[in-house]
Amino acid sequence: MRSLVSLYLIIGLLLLVFGYFATGPCPNKNTDVVNDVVFVLTWPVGLYGYVITGSLTPQDWLHKQACEGGLGQHSTDLPKTEPH
């Protein structure tokens, strides 16, 4: 169980580091530690919401988190759903 939790957290950290260093220039580095912690803990939800069902590419998703102030500022990128 510890190894699964560790793997989950390591993947989240690697995604965040990849966003900072491999997605292009960072005009507005995300320095909000809480935002980064939330990203690391909830990266599968963001991947599904922003990339799989949304309009972002994986590189754009990581770049917006790391280099454009965080994903909280980009809620318009989520797909609009109709109420049932």
pLDDT digits (tens, 9 = 90+) for 38-77: 999 999 998 999 999 988 899 999 998 888 877 765 455 5
Helix (H/G/I), strand (E/B), else coil: 54:
coil
Q: Given this model, what pLDDT does residue 80 score?
A: 55
Phi, psi dihedrals of residue 69, rounded to the nearest 5°: 90, 0
Distance of CA 12 to CAs 3, 23, 46, 65, 83, Å?
14, 16, 11, 12, 32
